[in-house]
Structure 1
Amino acid sequence: MNFLPDLIDNYVINHSQKEPELLKQLNRETWQKVLNPRMLSGAYQGRLLSIISKLTNPKNILEIGTYTGYSALCLAEGLQKDGELITIDKNEELESFAKNYFNKSDYKNQIKQFIGNAIDIVPTLNKKFDLVFIDADKSNYINYFNLIIEKMNSGGVILSDNVLWSGKIVEELNPKDIDTKILLEYNKLLNSDTRVETVLLPIRDGLTITRVK
């Protein structure tokens, strides 16, 4: 969902870096072959993820929610030469799709895929992270944060996607809408937890940048 007028949104896109050719192919194939292609980060947000990663120059990146691998490849652009990106997704049907593009990239030896529940996998990861991207089931955002906060290096960055949830976060809450309820609690948590400092950006469906103190 876009919260900017179309003319402004188009201007922003036209004056931002374009996606590399491999990602253009991945973008196209996702829309052609995969269900719910709107889950893709897309060119503009992908360039934002890329530049944040390049600015932080992380050694270890964790991504919760691989989908078809687009965001992982964007985040990998900022990895240190001996760095590693771990990406987790429970959808095994998309594993080979993402792996195909990982293997075509310059980061094929730096990206490690896990298939399964991140709630179970993250506690087994014996390393500290400099950059984390959360873009999975919204009902577990708070659980993911609680799992990763102790695994973050000081100065590390947590990126959280879809935190505006198509504007539902400012509408009257449907008691049965668990995702929106959790996102409201999550946004409040990020803005009140004394271990972090947070800015919520109204980009696409909302992206939060959280820095660990």
Structure 2
Amino acid sequence: MLEFDNVEVFYGKVQALRGISLRVDEGEIVALLGNNGAGKSTTLSTASAIVRATSGTVTFDGADISKAHPWNVVGAGLIHVPEGRRIFSTLSVLENLQLGGYLVKERGVVAKRIEQVFELLPLLAERRAQHGGTLSGGEQQMLAIGRALVAGPKMLMLDEPSMGLAPLIVAQVMQVISDIRDQGTTVLLVEQNARAALKVTDRAYVIEEGATTLEGRASDLIADSRIIDAYLGA
């Protein structure tokens, strides 16, 4: 569904991605693991056309999106939830969700998707009139995910959804991600909390210094001594 073929990215003279190749198949949850600065967020930004690949090819749903505009990528159904949630703090929960459907022409479709988000995330339904900035960190993350779902993603890319959240809330976020996949949306997950990520993912890639250094099924990686030493602890 999404494929990177030998993709390189530079920020000026600094190389951020060094020939990354990876794939995410339809119906999967795939995680990108790695330390800060490894290139995980750049990978998502390249897929969503916020960052332009210097070389290599990015393909989504059978089409080359390497030179696409971000709004075309969104229109194709590849939706990016960036790190830090980035909700509109002075708008209500409902208004934030409505903005997720900005490119959707049929208002009835947007309304239906918002109701589906409220079914998946009932806490947002209770908070629908509340300003986004007054929500807790976990609630804001749920709102950011809900807003992305209103866009109608074929595939959802999530950047550090557990950042700054208490362990109980992290577990809730990961359960929501699993539920989203079960409802038919493919997920690419960037996550520093490797233990939490590997519990819900099918496969994972490890990125180090802009290159993929390890890949495999989550059930194998969670028992791999290299992953345990680097990311999981004893």
Give TM-score, length-normalised by structure 2: 0.33
Q: Which has the higher strand share?
A: 2
Tell me: higher relative CO, structure 1 or 2? Use CA pairs within 8 A at least 6 residues apart. 2
Higher Rg of the two aligned structures = 2
